[in-house]
Amino acid sequence: MSDSDFTEVIDAFEKHLRTERNLSDHTIRAYLGDLESFTAHLAVLGLTNISTLEISHIRSWLANMQVKGGARTSLSRRAVSIRLFTKWAQKKGLTQTDAGVALITPKPHRTLPEVLDIPSAALAMDALALRVGEEEDSPMSLRDCAMVEVLYASGARVSELCGLDFESIDYERQTIRVLGKGNKERTIPIGNPAMKALKAWIKDGRPHVATNISANAVFLGARGKRIDQRTVRTVVYEALSALEGFERMGPHALRHSAATHLLEGGADLRTVQEILGHASLATTQIYTHVSTQRLQQAFKQAHPRA
């Protein structure tokens, strides 16, 4: 198979991911990157026709990635990418069998996410509120306070926060509607402090920044455009950098913290899954391990018989 043949297959697979599976651009880029790496390896192996693809070719590629130092999480994702591709290739008649169906996905090491404890989270929010007062309700301080409050209250992803429009907010029910992975919408409660901070930004901060290009975007950059993810991350890093021991935590730490604190407060796993927008309950279950670990630490520190 020539390079041009490989390119045609990759282009057709991209069209499938985009139009039939409706995946996000980020996910599509990841899948295509894996497929390009895989087809390059097939060329090295001398595979001339994709119809002769076998599981040994896939295992050879994954082994090569592992030798090059690929992490187990990366190998696991690559295996998923290729299994999706081989299933599609068989359906399209490019291969007689699904070569990846018997592939065992390497189990990634699940590292427990870093989370803020509840007092530290409260301290971070209070520090932002104090900054608003010190800076006499400056637009940027109002915006930053609202963004961090909403991220912690909702457990939303940064991309979801950036995508908020005015119609996404339900003031009466105190909820926001976000567009998550796979273009799936979900509604998340945010509570009083976050809604108060959000209203303050929209009423007293946003009008000073908004321009004719702002449209319905809730959060704006300094020049009036919809805020970008890099700016949000910078704001969160700066907000958490003042907390001893949490200097390197970013927006995802707020998402992890929201999930962990919900579980510690008695929320059931399915509810947390729905709030976070996880497709699989297994993804949400890691937070039960975090909660258990924190309970064990508290026991060791506080119980006389620990």
pLDDT tens-place string over residues 150-202: 999 999 999 999 999 999 999 999 999 999 888 889 999 998 899 999 999 99
Domain range annotation of the chain: 3-91, 118-302
Report the interhelical angle of 139-154 vs 229-241 (nearest 10°). Answer: 90
- Structure tokens that stand for 146 in this block: 């609202």
User: pLDDT for 112-131, tens place per residue?
Assistant: 557 777 777 887 787 777 77
pLDDT interval class at 104 (50, 70, 90): confident
In this predicted structure, the answer to whether residue 291 has a pLDDT above a threshold of 70 is no
Distance of alpha carbon 19 from alpha carbon 106, whole angstroms: 29
Q: Which long-range contacts (CB under 8 A, 24 or more apart) does 164-172 make?
A: 164/217, 164/218, 164/219, 165/215, 165/216, 165/217, 165/218, 166/216, 166/218, 167/216, 168/218, 169/198, 169/218, 171/195, 171/199
Mean pLDDT of 250-278: 87
pLDDT of residue 189: 92
The pLDDT, as a whole number, for residue 8 is 87
Residue with the two structure tokens 């029910």: 173
Q: Of the residues 157, 206, 256, 261, which is catalytic?
A: 157
Whose CA is closest to 41, among 21, 55, 58?
58
- Catalytic residue of the set 181, 186, 196, 294: 181
305 vs 61: which has the higher pLDDT: 61
Superfamily of domain 118-302: Intergrase catalytic core (1.10.443.10)
Whether 31 sits among the annotated catalytic residues: the reply is: no
Q: What fold, for 3-91?
A: DNA polymerase; domain 1 (1.10.150)
Going by pLDDT thresholds of 50, 70 and 90, the confidence category of residue 228 is very high
How many CB atoms lie under 10 A from the CB of residue 66? Answer: 14
Query: What's the confidence (pLDDT) of residue 168?
Result: 94
Active site residue 287: yes
Count the Cβ atoms, other than its own, within 10 Å of residue 116: 23
* Residue 157 falls in the annotated catalytic set: yes
**CA 284 from chain center: how many Å?**
13
Catalytic residue at 261? no
Task: Check 83, 206, 255, 261 and give the catalytic one.
Answer: 255
The answer to whether 107 is a known catalytic residue is no
> In the chain, what are the helix, strand and coil shares in percent, each to the nearest 5?
65, 5, 30
Residue 77 is a catalytic residue: no
pLDDT reported for residue 292: 60
CA proximity to 247, closest of 124, 131, 132: 124
Read off the pLDDT of residues 43-74 as tens digits, 9 standing for 90 and up. Answer: 889 887 788 899 999 999 988 888 776 555 67
pLDDT of residue 174: 92
